[in-house]
Structures are given as structure tokens and as C-alpha cells.
Structure 1
Amino acid sequence: MTTITRILVANRGEIARRVFATARRLGIETVAVHSDADAGLPFVAEADHAVRLPGNTPAETYLRADLVLEAARKAGADAVHPGYGFLSENAGFARAVLDAGLAWIGPDPSSIESMGSKIESKKLMEAAGVPVLADLGSTATEGDLPLLVKASAGGGGRGMRIVRDLAALPAEVEKAAAEAASAFGDGTVFVEPYVEHGRHVEVQVVGDRHGNVAVFGERDCSIQRRHQKVVEEAPAPGLSEETRAALHEAARNAAAAIDYVGAGTVEFLVDASDPTRFWFLEMNTRLQVEHPVTEAVFGVDLVEAQIAVAEGHPVEAPADGPRGHAVEVRLYAEDPAADWQPQSGALASFGIPGVDVEFGLVPGAPSGLRLDTGFVAGSEVGTHYDAMLAKVIAWAPTRAQALRRLAGALDRATVHGLTTNRDLLVEVLRHPVFAAGDVSTDFFEVQELGSRAGGVDEEAVRRAAFAATVALAEADREARTVQRRIPVAWRNVLSAPQVTELSHAGLEKPVRVEWYGGRDGYAGEGISVLAASSTSVTLEVDGVATTYAVVIDASASVTAPVVHVDSPAGYVRLVRVPRFVDPSEVVATGSLLAPMPGSVISVAVEEGAQVTAGQTVLVMEAMKMQHTVTAPTDGVVSQINVKAGSQVGAGDVLAVVDGVEGEEA
């Protein structure tokens, strides 16, 4: 038996904090490694020891096995936990850890190698009697459409493309290979049939060195965008006991075929129209992002199980089946209405109400809420890593109760400073189709969701703008050094109203707020103010009072602060329009702006080229994903300010397209 005393987590953010939480409970010391960009994040401060990895990008830091091992030596660690992503499924790294005399909290390198290639792992599973989808390679025909191009190494939706036109297959293979090479260092891809209305169901296994493989139920991870999971739950809804048992047995056979040791997940594609049919997708030889839902329903700490197995202890299979239901959502800094575009910047506010526990087992009754996050208010969300802010997990005796608890908590959350998928998550959890258990990987393509359409409730924005205006006025009053008792906007003779303009990203024109102040308080057309401060405003409209929570962020601009407003109607982000605008800040019509900080991968056109609306002008990479910037209209490329390799900031002018006569750019 091995006794682990100090664990280095070769990862960052949320998963590092998750492992640290269990290690602290077990009395094990912790070591963090961190890039320069991550130096101020909570996981670094929470570790007993921290070692800097010079640089910012994953290639400079978390993917440098040599630097991580040197950090373990410096900090006196006797074990390494890889988390997920980065080097977690790198057999060479696992072998190097073992060669250095350290305990590896993961599977044997040979198991990682067996499952590291999706192409080879499918062959291995087929030989073990596990059903698999055919690898079509270059033999695909029109009759095989639609097709799915997938990266052989890695996951998370990178290097994955759906192909519905056979003529487009070569180009999509090339794009997938480029993205896979960038994300995983391996551009190998393969082609298989795409199951249109499928479900993504995975089985949690834990193996030990005594030949045991314990199965901890299954999870449904079908709600996905860009082939990346967004909502996960356990147990999977709507499966018959026969199908459930068959999935568990197939997963057990898959793990036994490679003498699997440690926590792992066997993933299957289930035919939603006929759940008795399923096929092996891949095996993740590591802890999964969504492991908390399994922990909630089985009352098990999977990180503790990983450590116990690494020390040589036998795994304890669950004595009973799952208890109740657990649902997890991944809160991302991204804009669902803009093709899930990742966001970066500072979190002005971050809070989830009603959280019972962070990084631990959810309390048993009557229900519980868990939060796993790598960020706090004030944290900087950078462009070098994944855009996930947090995982929020609800447990309850029934699925309906868990969905309601989770949706309510998210609805009241305060997440300011960045566009997030919070509203989308709430809409999914409350959607009647999802609530009925009709889940599939094409959910977002099939269902109409308002938060995906980018529509704006103008009346809700108008009321939020009024609340923001009052809060801004109160902030000005609170900042006074003299005459603080004089009411805001007091006048001897009442004349024209005060005017404040606030812009909203979803509206073409700013919202114009006309208001009065004075001894009798604030008032506006159809709106009365019952209470006011710089952080909270209560408005009455048609006899109904509503309180708005307000956060004013002037860090970027004192004259044009960002105002965050939360209410039962949802979150609204506004920017006060300054009375005077610097002409140098006006962007020329037809300018193509960088949607986020990142690097330019390629430029597809030259200055002077004729382009049509929607034509690719250049391709950027940010947050490990590629983003295509297209021409907004037919016209001529009059200016290109970047080249391949250029680093750009959010809002930088990349190029300018002059529209043809008679059209607006």
C-alpha cells in the first residue's frame, strides 16, 4: 500500500479547487501549478504550496510535462492528480510521473494509450463485444449522409464537424484536423455516421488493482452545443431497466478489456427513437466534468475513490442504486445568441443564492445545491482557456424538484461583467420538452429558444433603464462632499425633465429616460419610485412594486459606466451614453471588429478584393475554438489591418468592407 501525503494537481481553476477540497478533508497537503494569467485565481491561494509556470498559453504552461514534474520535485509532492483536459489523458505524462517515483492518480499509461485513439479504441471495443459505429474513412457515400468528422485524440467538441453535403467532406476534414492539431497536438480525424436524434449517455466506472470494476450508474449528457455538454443529469431519464443494465454491462466489459484502474467514463450514443440501440463512442480515462451528479445520487466522493485506488485499496461498489435525482449545468462566459461566442474580461459580480456546499457532497434533505467554480467576483476570465465559469448542481428526491431548484437558483444569480449562458440554462431547465425527459443532442437545433434568438423585451429594458438611472443619480448624491441633504435634481421651479440615455446591445438606439427628482423623490412616465439607493431601486408600475438590484461598474469609463440590473424579469446590461463623444472613438462603417481577444489564424482575402455578404474574410482562434469573421455585405475590402499570427484585442478593427452603392455596410 502507498500513503499519499502531498498531491500536486496538474491543472487549474475549478477542477484544481475540487481536488484540493477532498485532499484537505483527508488531511493531504496540496500543490498548485499556475500560469502567469492564473496567478490571481482562487485555486492558487487555496493550495498549501504553489509553483509558477512561466507564460500564459497552455502550450507554455499546463501542457509542459517537464515543467509540471519539476514543480512536483520542487514542492516535494509525492503524487500527481491530472484533473481533466490538458495532460490528463497523456500516456507519456503518466509514465513520466511514475518514472519519477510519484503516485499517479489515474489509470495505467497502457490503458490511456488503448483508449487515447478513438480509431483504435473502437476496434478494441468491437473485439470485446461492445457495439460500435462503423468507421467510414474515405468510403463514405451519399447514402451514408449525414456524417460526423471527429478528432481521434481529445474531445470537448474540438475537431468535430457535421457534414450533410458529400462534396464538403474534404474541406470539413481539413478544418477538423487543423482544430484538433491546435487543441490536442494530434490532427488525426475519422468519419462515422451521424445519428440525427441521438442521446449521449455515459457510465461511470471505477476499477482497482484487485480486478474489481464498480459501476456507479449512468448520466445523460445529451444537451450540448458545438458537441460540448451543457446540462448533465443522473440517472438518465426515460431508460428502461433492461437498457440501463445493458449499458452498465457494456461499460464494465469495456473497462475489464483494458484492465482499467481508477475512475473513468464509458460514453455511448443511444438512439433516442429506439433506446434499446446504443453504440460505444469513447472512454474517458479520467474524471469527468459532470462527475458531481453521480456523487450526489450515490453519496460517493469520486476524487476520494481515485486517491484510494492509487494507494492500492480495493474499490467499494455502491450497495444500493441511485438515490433521488441530480442535475448539473455548466455556466459559461459565452453569448448563445451569437453562435455561442466565448467572452472574456473581468467578473464584476458573481453569486449563486442558496448554495449549500462548494466542491462537496450535496446535503440529503429536502434538497441541496452545490457550486463548483474557479472564479470569484473580480476574477479575470482570460482568452487562453475554456470559458466555463462554474458548475451548479441540484439534488432532490425527484427530477422535477431538482430542475425547479436549479432553475430558481440560476434565475436569482448575479453574474455581471460578461455575457453568459445563464438565461439559456434557465430556459432549458423550464422547457416542457426537456422537463418531459425528451432529451437529445440536437435539442438546440430542434427547439425554439428565446435566449438563442437574441430577442429583447423592450419594456423590461425600459424599466431596468429607469432603475439604472435612479441608481446612477443616487451614486452621484452619495459621492457628494457638500450639500448631501439636497434632493437629487432639485429645482426651485419645475421645468423640463432630466434626461439620461443608456445603450443596450440588443437595441439599435439608446433608451431615453426622462425623469424628475426633488423633494417628493423620483418619478417618470407611468413609474413611481418607492425606494432608492445606488445598489437597489424599487419601482411601482400599475400598482405592482418590483425591486431591482443594481451594480454600477465605472472601472472602464467614468463618463460611460456599465450598469448591471437584476430583477425577476431577468438581467439587463446597460451603458450610460456620455453627453459628448470623442470623434476618435467612432468606428468607420463596414469595420469588422474582433469579437474577443485572440490570434488571427488566416486571412482569406486581400485589400481591394470583391466580397459577397457572408464570405469569409479571416479566421481567428480564441479560447481553443476557431471563429470565422465574414463580410457583413457585398462590397470591396478597402482595408486589412492584420495578418496570420497577429494578436488582437476585443473591438480591434480587423478589416473594413465598403458596401456597394445603395447598400449599408
Structure 2
Amino acid sequence: MTQYQPIKRLLVANRGEIAVRIIQTARRLGIHTIALYSDADASAMHVRQADEAWHLGPAPARESYLDTDKVLRIAQQANADAIHPGYGFLSENSDFANACAGQGLRFIGPSGAAILAMGDKSGAKTLMEAAGVPVLPGYHGADQRPDTLRHQASLVGFPLLIKAASGGGGKGMRRVEQIDEFDAALAAVKREALAAFGDDRVLLERYLPRARHVEVQIFADTLGHAIYLGDRDCSLQRRHQKVIEEAPAPNIAPALRRAMGEAAVAAARAIDYVGAGTIEFLLCGDEFFFMEMNTRLQVEHPVTEAVTGQDLVAWQLAVAEGQPLPLTQEEVVLRGHGVEARLYAEDVEAGFLPASGPIHWLHWPQGVRIDTGVSAGDAVSPYYDPMIAKLIAHGQSRAEAFARLADALAALSLGPLVHNGPLLLRLCQEPDVLTMAHHTQWPIPTEPLAIPDLAWPLATLWLASRTGPSPWQQAPGFRLGPDLSLTAAVRIGEETRVLTLIGRTGLLTWQGQEYPYELHADHLRLLRSGRWLRCPVTPAADGAWVLQLEGRRIPFATDDHRHQHHDDHQAPGSQGASAPMHGLVVALLVEAGQSVSRGQPLLVMEAMKMEHQVRAEQDGVIAELLCQVGQQISQGASLVRFQDAAREGAEPASTEQESA
């Protein structure tokens, strides 16, 4: 029987929102918290909230958060008696877990042996087959020769997935539709897997085109108890990365739900698992198949907390102290529905390019849980995952939970950093999502949204306010009539409208409705449907402005300023390719003197854990490669120069993420 050993000093070997999440629970339990930080995180929220903080090293993760020797040395110097790795970084590093045990430090997670067993996806499938857990047909053998893999692919059949054997988080994964695509996809997976996990072994799986991604939260203690705490549906994905998660998984019969939960517990018992873990299944009709096990706390754990009323980090700490699980299986009760949206710094309309930069304003909505590692005045670093926050809503029903999340996303005000908030709001209102008609390959809509109609009068008010204390006073470019009307030509994007507004200071009439409003130095406030909307406005080039409304960035100007809006990564008049983000060059696909055509891939960059292809946007001949493999590149740096770079009007290269 394990002896109870209280944790007194906890080192959190992570950063961002998960580090803050762990620190908050630990401090509530009276545990002294120790943070780690890189040069880029010296003033980060997790550093500010911890009881003490230690410097790790330079910004790149390999030189700081992934440096196990530094982490363990600091743990000893800080007299820590336990280390919580969060998720990502060292959380599924079996060598690190073993090293912690070797130094007398409690690793908040399973044993190194359990991590190793499930971290190898090929070996994990073999273990699951032996434990009677359904496994997807495929190949997960030791022979990794390209010819062998190609032959096995033909036996599995197409379409199929090539997956990194040590992968996770959607990295190192490609869908292949036919045999002549296999070699290129295999090379891409191996390259990405080696860079991300230090292991280029792969496995092959039958591809299920309309499957749901359903996962089961399990917990086991050192006393032999193992239970499951419901399930989650994570089918809303982009490039195999989760976007919105919910619990419990909708539209599942009780018998099937119980069968998945019992299979998940059987999987955990097969490797003598201890702590929090997640068993991921693909669900097709009434059949489910084991995909993988995540031997750590999941990003989406808050939705399980929402419906169980439990603190899973507190459970992790209790298990590490040798305590029994707080509940038996019979005592687990699910109440209502939880849904979580992942707010990322990324430009959806530019192909989901990751973004980085400062956050000048940030106002979180009320009525939902916010898990974040940033506040106004902080910045999203180009060195790490671009997650800004997670917004978690709970309701008595699924419809109520989604409605609350949608209200929160509509009220979110964050900038000037570009983010995916508008897409998340759109997903919360999509009929296919609300009726649970989506699946893992459901195409997430990315085409530009229509400009909110309210943007036009707000832009007009703002432009008028720039010329005097009240937009209802006479100003150049605006006409004030006897009926207190305001007329102006306003340009939003490529469209110009001549608007006539009626009202008075503090009250706007638009399309038959009255809206109280306030004008401030850097934002507008408008009362709509009983709720004040805060709409920041920031200056842009050529006298134009950018309005933040319903999570969208809307450029506008008077018609006198024919403002042409471009994505930050474009450079009209240049011919070649420049870096659209900070990143690492991982592959050069062309050479000097080579002729290329529009749309042809030029090189591959890795940024924020994802690969991005840089493509030519015009025909031409490569004059010079201005970068090399392994080089860290700053945003805007020139990558490739064409021979006729001086030609007027040439278009830049485009960038897109590699699609599975």
C-alpha cells in the first residue's frame, strides 16, 4: 500500500495557460508553486502568479522548457518535491519521468514505462489488441523501409493515414488518397516527425472519412482503482487539431457509452497506469476503434470538469500524494453539458497562418470560464504554441452551452493581434454543428464572413468624431441637415457606401432602431439588445482605421482615402518570397536557376509546431535562395529572389499549411 506523502513544493515545468491553471489549483491547496521561464516569458502571467520563478534560458524551447538537465537542476536547487509537466513539452517524455523518479522527485503523471508503452503508437496498438480493445486495421510493424511501407499501404487500401509513431496533436500526419501520392506524403510525415519528436517511424491506418473523434477521460491511483469520468466529442478539427470540444459526447446510446468507458479502463489497466489519461477512439455508427492514449492531462479537460464538478488537477496531485481516487465509478455523475473553444493567434482568412505580437487591449466576456496565460499588455511569442486562451461554457443542455459560448465569443474584445475568434463564433452557430451532423473531416468554413451591417454606422461615427468633439457638428466631408442627419461616403474593404445617419450626441438611429453610444479615444461603445459592445478602433496606413466588431478586424476609411488592405505578409511590388511569420526553414524545394510556375512550392517553414509551404504566386526563374535549411527566419525576411525582381507589379509568394 502506498504511503501518503503530501506535496509541499511543486515545480511547474510548463508555461502559458496550463501553467497558470496548475498554479491556481496548487495554491488553493496550500502548495508552494515554483515557475520556470525563458527569456521570452520573463514577465509572463504564470511567472507573476507563482510563489517563485526560476530562469531557464533562451526563448527557443529546446534551450529552455525542453532542456531536462536544466529543469531537474532547478528542481533540486528550489527544493521541489514534485514536478507537474502540464501538457506538451516534457509531459510525455518517459526519460524525464524516469529521471524525476531517480532524483526522488514525484512526476505528476504515469510511470516512464507507461508513457513509453503508449507513446509508441505501433506498440500501443499491439498492447490494445492483446487487451481486447478494438483497433483500426493498418500496419504498425518494425520494418520501416519505404518499399515495405508502400507495399503495406497497398494492402491497407486507400484512402489511408500515415501517422508518426511517436506523434500527437495532429503533427506528423497525412491523408493519402492514392498510391502515387504515398512517397511524397511519407517523406513529409517523416520530416515533421523527426523535427517534432526526434523519431521518424510511422504507422499506417485505415482512413474513416465520416468518423467521430470521441475520447474517454480515465483516472487511476496507486491503490489499484481505475475509473472513467465520462467522454468528450472532439470531432471539430482542422488538420487533425481540435478546435471545439464538448462533454459528454452527444447522441451516444448508454450501452455504447458504457462499452467505450470500460474499454478505456481496460486499456489503462493493461499498462498499470497511474494518474490522468485519455483514451481516444474513432466512432463509426455503433463501432469504435482505439486510436491512441494520451498519458497526460488533455487541453480539453475543462469540459469534463464542467460536467463532473471535479478539479482534475487536484485529482492528479492527490494521486501523486498516494491518496485514493476521490470518487468511485458509481459516484461519477454528469450534469448538463460543457463546450470549450480554443482561441488561437492565427489568421484564418490567410490559411490559418500563426500570428504573434502584442495584446494592447483585452476584455474577457462574462458568464464563461476563461483559462488563459495572457492579459492586456502581454504578447503571444513566435516561439511557442499560439494558443491565447480556452473559453468554456456550461449549460443544462447542449443548446444552452453552445448559446452561452456564442454570446461570450461575440462579446470578446482582443487586439490588435489577429485571432480565430470570429471562426469560433461562426462554428457555434453552424447548423451542422448544432445538430451534431459534423465529423472529423467536416469542412470548417473559412471563406470571409460578410461585413456586420452595424460596422457601417460605427465607421461613420468614428470618422466624423475625428474632425470635432461631436459627429453631429458640421465637419468637412460631412453634411448636417435640419433633421440632424449626417451624410458621408465610407469605404470598408473594397466597398463604398454613402450613408445618412440620424440622431444626436449619444444616440444613434440606424435602420429604425436607436442605439445609445459612447466615443472614447481608442474605442466606441454601443448598447445593443441590453448589452454594451466595446469596439476598439486602431489607426492603419494612409489615414485608414481598423474597427474590431464581433471578433472581426474591419478596415475602413473615408472614400477620400482609397485604402487598399493587404495581409501583413504580402509585399506588393516585390517578386520572390518573404517569410509570413517567424519560423524555421525545414526544407528547400527549389534551387537557383530553376524555372517555377505559379502555385509551385518553394520551401517549407515550421512555425509554432506546424509546417507551412511557401508557394510562388507567379511564373519565373529563381535567381537566388536567401535562406538555408535549419535557419531561423524573422517575419518579413526575404527567402527567395526571382531573376526579374525589379519588374513592377509582381506578386509575392503565398503561404499555406500542408494539408493532410
TM-score (ref. length: structure 2): 0.85
Match of 1:260 in 2: 273
Please point out which of 351, 357, 360 is paired with 1:348.
Answer: 360
In structure 1, what is the Cα distance between the partners aligned to 2:419 and 2:505?
A: 39
Q: CA 1:547/1:468 → structure 2, altered by over 3 Å: closer, same or farther? A: farther
Range that drifts further, 150-159 or 183-192: 183-192
List per-residue Cα deviations over 1:566-619 (Å, max 9, x = no partner): 25xx533437699799xxx97424343322122222332234432112101121
Please point out which of 18, 25, 30 is paired with 2:33.
Answer: 30
**Residues paired across the two proteins, number:** 621
Any residues of structure 2 matched to 1:77-92 within 5 Å, and which? 77-92=80-95
Match of 1:482 in 2: none
Letter in 2 for 1:565: Q
Q: What is the DSSP-based 3-state SS (H/G/I as helix, E as strand, rest coil) of the residue aligned with 2:63?
A: coil
- 8 A Cα contact 1:13 1:375, kept in partner: yes
Letter in 1 for 2:352: W
In structure 2, what is the Cα distance between the partners aligned to 1:243 and 1:172?
A: 35
Q: CA 1:619/1:513 → structure 2, altered by over 3 Å: closer, same or farther? A: farther
Any residues of structure 2 matched to 1:302-317 within 5 Å, and which? 302-315=312-325, 316-317=327-328
Q: CA 1:109/1:647 → structure 2, altered by over 3 Å: closer, same or farther? A: closer
Q: What is the DSSP-based 3-state SS (H/G/I as helix, E as strand, rest coil) of the residue aligned with 2:334?
A: coil
Q: What is the DSSP-based 3-state SS (H/G/I as helix, E as strand, rest coil) of the residue aligned with 1:89?
A: coil
2:379 corresponds to 1:394: no
2:317 corresponds to 1:269: no
| Paired-residue identity, % | 41
Any residues of structure 2 matched to 1:420-459 within 5 Å, and which? 420-444=419-443, 449=445, 452-457=446-451
List per-residue Cα deviations over 1:90-122 (Å, max 9, x = no partner): 111011111111122111111111111000010
List per-residue Cα deviations over 1:451-501 (Å, max 9, x = no partner): x11244386654453244245456xx69xxxxxx99684799999x99998
Letter in 2 for 1:44: V
Range that drifts further, 371-380 or 526-535: 526-535
Match of 1:5 in 2: 8
Please point out which of 235, 250, 271 is paired with 2:263.
Answer: 250
- 8 A Cα contact 1:222 1:229, kept in partner: yes
List per-residue Cα deviations over 1:64-96 (Å, max 9, x = no partner): 111111111222211101100111011110111
**Displacement after TM superposition at 1:430 (Å):** 1.5
**Displacement after TM superposition at 1:510 (Å):** 8.2
In structure 2, what is the Cα distance between the partners aligned to 1:206 and 1:623?
A: 30
2:657 corresponds to 1:654: no
Match of 1:332 in 2: 344
**Displacement after TM superposition at 1:444 (Å):** 2.1
**Displacement after TM superposition at 1:513 (Å):** 8.2
- 8 A Cα contact 1:326 1:393, kept in partner: yes
Q: CA 1:433/1:187 → structure 2, altered by over 3 Å: closer, same or farther? A: same
2:578 corresponds to 1:593: yes
In structure 2, what is the Cα distance between the partners aligned to 1:640 and 1:172?
A: 24
In structure 1, what is the Cα distance between the partners aligned to 2:126 and 2:596?
A: 46
- 8 A Cα contact 1:529 1:538, kept in partner: no
Letter in 1 for 2:459: A
In structure 2, what is the Cα distance between the partners aligned to 1:99 and 1:473?
A: 70
2:294 corresponds to 1:284: yes
**Displacement after TM superposition at 1:546 (Å):** 11
2:546 corresponds to 1:534: no
Range that drifts further, 87-96 or 377-386: 377-386
- 8 A Cα contact 1:470 1:522, kept in partner: no
Please point out which of 305, 319, 323 is paired with 1:295.
Answer: 305
List per-residue Cα deviations over 1:139-173 (Å, max 9, x = no partner): 12187100101111130000010110211112111
- 8 A Cα contact 1:635 1:660, kept in partner: no
Please point out which of 43, 46, 57 is paired with 2:46.
Answer: 43
Please point out which of 452, 457, 463 is paired with 1:469.
Answer: 463
Please point out which of 612, 616, 619 is paired with 1:627.
Answer: 612
In structure 2, what is the Cα distance between the partners aligned to 1:215 and 1:523?
A: 55
2:547 corresponds to 1:564: yes
Q: CA 1:412/1:166 → structure 2, altered by over 3 Å: closer, same or farther? A: same
- 8 A Cα contact 1:148 1:192, kept in partner: yes
Structure 2: stretches of 5+ with no match in the other structure: 140-148, 564-569, 652-660
List per-residue Cα deviations over 1:120-150 (Å, max 9, x = no partner): 0100110011111133344121871001011
- 8 A Cα contact 1:205 1:265, kept in partner: yes
TM-score (ref. length: structure 1): 0.85
In structure 1, what is the Cα distance between the partners aligned to 2:205 and 2:188?
A: 16
- 8 A Cα contact 2:137 2:156, kept in partner: no
- 8 A Cα contact 2:160 2:177, kept in partner: yes
Q: CA 1:171/1:660 → structure 2, altered by over 3 Å: closer, same or farther? A: farther
Q: CA 1:45/1:617 → structure 2, altered by over 3 Å: closer, same or farther? A: same
- 8 A Cα contact 1:537 1:547, kept in partner: no
Structure 1: stretches of 5+ with no match in the other structure: 356-368, 479-484
Please point out which of 637, 644, 652 is paired with 2:622.
Answer: 637
In structure 1, what is the Cα distance between the partners aligned to 2:397 and 2:29?
A: 31
Q: CA 1:615/1:487 → structure 2, altered by over 3 Å: closer, same or farther? A: same
**Displacement after TM superposition at 1:530 (Å):** 7.1
List per-residue Cα deviations over 1:625-660 (Å, max 9, x = no partner): 111011112333355433334433333343355599
In structure 2, what is the Cα distance between the partners aligned to 1:313 and 1:516?
A: 67
Letter in 2 for 1:332: Y
In structure 1, what is the Cα distance between the partners aligned to 2:218 and 2:71?
A: 28
Q: What is the DSSP-based 3-state SS (H/G/I as helix, E as strand, rest coil) of the residue aligned with 1:403?
A: helix
Match of 1:373 in 2: 372
In structure 2, what is the Cα distance between the partners aligned to 1:522 and 1:593?
A: 47
Please point out which of 214, 223, 227 is paired with 1:210.
Answer: 223
In structure 1, what is the Cα distance between the partners aligned to 2:316 and 2:375?
A: 28
**Displacement after TM superposition at 1:559 (Å):** 7.2
State the Cα RMSD in Å: 3.7
Range that drifts further, 433-442 or 459-468: 459-468
- 8 A Cα contact 2:593 2:621, kept in partner: yes
- 8 A Cα contact 2:212 2:234, kept in partner: yes
Q: What is the DSSP-based 3-state SS (H/G/I as helix, E as strand, rest coil) of the residue aligned with 2:166?
A: coil
Q: What is the DSSP-based 3-state SS (H/G/I as helix, E as strand, rest coil) of the residue aligned with 2:61?
A: coil
Q: CA 1:384/1:521 → structure 2, altered by over 3 Å: closer, same or farther? A: closer
In structure 1, what is the Cα distance between the partners aligned to 2:89 and 2:506?
A: 57
- 8 A Cα contact 2:221 2:322, kept in partner: yes
Match of 1:193 in 2: 206
Letter in 1 for 2:451: D
In structure 1, what is the Cα distance between the partners aligned to 2:477 and 2:547?
A: 29
- 8 A Cα contact 1:514 1:524, kept in partner: no
Q: CA 1:105/1:539 → structure 2, altered by over 3 Å: closer, same or farther? A: closer
In structure 2, what is the Cα distance between the partners aligned to 1:22 and 1:38?
A: 21
Letter in 2 for 1:440: H
Q: CA 1:533/1:86 → structure 2, altered by over 3 Å: closer, same or farther? A: closer
In structure 2, what is the Cα distance between the partners aligned to 1:546 and 1:101?
A: 54
Match of 1:360 in 2: none
- 8 A Cα contact 1:468 1:565, kept in partner: no
In structure 1, what is the Cα distance between the partners aligned to 2:535 and 2:412?
A: 13
Q: CA 1:560/1:42 → structure 2, altered by over 3 Å: closer, same or farther? A: farther
- 8 A Cα contact 1:469 1:513, kept in partner: no
